[in-house]
Amino acid sequence: MKEACGVVGVVTPGRDAAWSCYDALYALQHRGQESAGMAAYQDGRITVTKDNGLVSHVFADAALSALGGELVIGHTRYSTSGSANWTAAQPVYRSAGSAGFALAHNGNLTNTAALAAAAGLETSHYLSDSDLVAELLAREIERGATLPAALAEVLARAEGAFSMVVLEAGALHAVRDPHGFRPLCLGRLGPPEAPTGWVAASESPALDVVGATLVREVEPGEMVTITASGVTTTRLLAPAAGPQRLCIFEFVYFARPDAYLLGHQVHSARRRMGERLAHAAPVAADLVMGVPDSGVPAAEGYAQASGIPFGHGLVKNRYIGRTFIAPDPAQRAAGVRRKLNALRETITGRRLVVVDDSIVRGTTTRALVAMLREAGAAEVHLRISSPPFAWPCYYGIDTPTRDELLAARYDLAGMRDFIGCDSLAFISLADLRDAVGLAEGCCDACLTGEYPAPIPVTLDGARGRW
Ligand code: AMP
């Protein structure tokens, strides 16, 4: 079960937090479109509302008003694991403790089976990584542990990626794994000398939308606890060896361009990726265009550095989500036509530089190139602002298996032929790291096969072992 998701937690003493949590979740909709949910603590009780669908579909005004709560957590879920499954929606709730607790998780644990086996649980006893963690926490609490003590105990044994928010009677905890794979930041409502509330969220735009100021990242291995009386911090988990490992793909594709990750704005990083590509992989062309949305900032950077005019050659249907996860190739190709349409007058007769952030399976990219040719493009030169994506992610980004990844199947010329473009170039890893500005501190396992934490399967080939 894979979960690449958005999480948020809001505490507003004296005021309902559900509306703010809704706004923050809405700002994180791109991190998960399969299900949405919130858990609110009020009058000694935790109430969970969750369902399949977009944030705006799951929460009508009436549902929000009914939720209330001065402490609220929320979740948007993104998964490719089979059909939409209501039971896997989050937050997950357990009744252990005075009011029970609710948990929302972004990331993937890589030792789920071992954790479950150690606790004597069959796979049929839990629905997802998060459900298993909730079950293990509940058992600790039933043995007399507090929720923070249970978190310390259970998460010390968990491997892989977890940025989670956990709600109990009167307190909200935001926890990050020792590598810091998935983002999680902390924001403040009101002035520093008299805060009126606190927000924890996967990305900073969720703070902006509720008027909170970004204070800092939750540190890898840290637990930030928010109550009506303020914020406290605990080093919950022993630090991992080496630098923090924020996912480099957050910069490439996943995060919103207006997000700040480790002090770097994603949009600026994407522009710099395009500039580097222009220097490393120049080509004579008439127009530089980006594949909406995530390819556009890098296309701007490419245009500026190359001096080739930037233009919009594709129109995106703004009511459509991320099509990547449709299960079969024909559906994904149709998804491209549903999502993108070519601007003929911009394209006809032109030599195009087309910039996109990544090629994963290659199916949508191939359909896109065909569409541009149909619209009369004279040449299509594809420039990709990530290195070849050749290794699956086990830390919370949904990716296909290795044999489905285009870069694992073909060399550069083979990829170019599969996609049908005139030329193809990828940014180098060194240039990408440079553009992001975090030379040492990222997880780039999907690009290198060097996995910083154990993964659940043995890989073929010499790399990627642990
Ligand atoms: P494809 O040509 O089928 O490999 O699809 C490439 C497109 O998928 C690019 O435009 C990316 O922006 C997008 N993409 C990359 N990774 C993901 C992901 N994990 N989920 C959804 N879309 C993605």
Q: Would you state the pLDDT for residue 69?
A: 93
Looking at ligand 1, which residue's alpha carbon is closest to its atom 11?
Answer: 358
Please measure the distance between the N-terminal and C-terminal CA atoms of the chain and give it in whole angstroms.
22
| pLDDT tens for each residue of 405-464 | 999 999 999 999 999 999 999 999 999 999 999 877 899 999 999 999 988 754 443 333
Out of 364, 394, 395, 409, give the residue to mutate to test ligand 1, the one with the largest number of ligand atoms within 8 Å of its CB: 364
Question: How far is residue 142 from each of residues 135, 149, 204, 286, measured CA to CA in Å?
Answer: 11, 12, 36, 67
Same topology, domains 6-241 and 262-439? Answer is no
Atom from ligand 1 closest to the CA of residue 249: 16
361 C-beta closer than 6 A to ligand 1: yes
Whether 363 is in the pocket of ligand 1, judged by its Cβ within 6 Å, is yes
Cα 455 to ligand 1 centroid, rounded to whole Å: 22
393 is catalytic: no
pLDDT at 172: 98
CA distances from 126 to 2, 13, 35, 119, 123 (A): 14, 34, 18, 12, 6
Residue 62 has a pLDDT of 86
Ligand 1 pocket: which of 314, 323, 360, 394 to mutate (most atoms within 8 A of CB) = 360
Task: Tell me the fold of 262-439.
Answer: Rossmann fold (3.40.50)
CATH number for the domain formed by residue range(s) 6-241: 3.60.20.10
Q: In the chain, where are the structural domains located?
A: 6-241, 262-439
State the pLDDT confidence band at 322, using cuts at 50, 70 and 90. Answer: low
Probe ligand 1: pick from 247, 291, 324, 361, max atoms within 8 Å of CB? 324
pTM for the predicted model, two decimal places: 0.93
Give the mean pLDDT of 288-313: 97
Name the active-site residue from 5, 247, 443, 446: 5
pLDDT tens, position by position, 238-296: 989 889 999 999 999 999 999 999 999 999 999 999 999 999 999 999 999 999 999 99
